[in-house]
Amino acid sequence: MEMNFKIKYHKLVAAIDIPELPRTIKQQVRDAIERKLVLAPDKFGKPLRRSLKGYRKLRAGDYRIVFRISGHTVFILAIQHRKKVYFKIHNRMLVL
């Protein structure tokens, strides 16, 4: 039996992260969310450690989708380039 997860975005993901993505990356991110996170986020997402314990990451090219699973909902905290995602994410965690 296939279980679909509901996707929710942090307000800054919709306001900043997605509009700033290059067009080709937007498609990669959309495909990753629709094919992996909606169907089996625990299978595809790699757990994060230390201060980000409880969160997971999914690779989409050089970009990372950082998310948390809560019941049947996947909450996306950030979609950023791999070089800066972990620096920016801590500020977002304070504004959930």
Distance between CA atoms of residues 26 and 17, nearest Å: 10
DSSP assignment of 12-75: HIIIIIHHHS-HHHHHHHHHHIIIIITT-HHHHSEEP-GGGTT-EEEEETTEEEEEEEETTEEE
Count of structural domains within the chain: 1
Are the C-beta atoms of 77 and 70 separated by less than 8 Å? no
For residue range 36-77, what is the model confidence (pLDDT) as tens digits? 999 999 999 999 999 899 999 999 999 999 999 999 999 999
User: Is residue 31 domain-resident?
Assistant: yes
In a domain, 1, yes or no: no
Maximum separation of any 2 CA atoms in the chain, in Å? 38
* pTM score: 0.90
- Domain CATH number, residue 60: 3.30.2310.20
